[in-house]
Amino acid sequence: MPTSGSKIVLKARKFTTVARGSDYGGTVELDDAKSPRTFDLLFATGPHQGLKSLGIYEIDVDAWRICLAFAGPSA
């Protein structure tokens, strides 16, 4: 289910997002060799600075669907 008012913008290996009224940013690592495809968000700015969120994704013709876990300590 989409979350109204939230979005993730990817540009090269960087991401920015606005969610729940806060700005976040950092780096993203994609792994399309895994099934399902995975991605890691490492937060460099915002309330989750220093934390990592793990996710899976699927790309269709005009849609990127994700399932993202809550941010936790980066290993």
- Tens digits of residue pLDDT in 19-28: 777 889 999 9
27's tokens: 């780096």
Q: Is 2 inside any structural domain?
A: no
Distance of alpha carbon 65 from alpha carbon 24, whole angstroms: 19
Residue of 71 and 14 predicted with greater confidence: 14
Residue 42 structural domain:
7-70
> What's the 3-state SS for the chain?
CCCCCCEEEEECCEEEEEECCEEEEEEEEEECCCCCEEEEEEEEECCCCCEEEEEEEEECCCCEEEEECCCEECC
pTM of the model: 0.77
Q: Is 61 inside any structural domain?
A: yes
**Is the separation of the CB atoms in 15 and 8 below 8 Å?**
yes
The total number of structural domains that make up the chain: 1
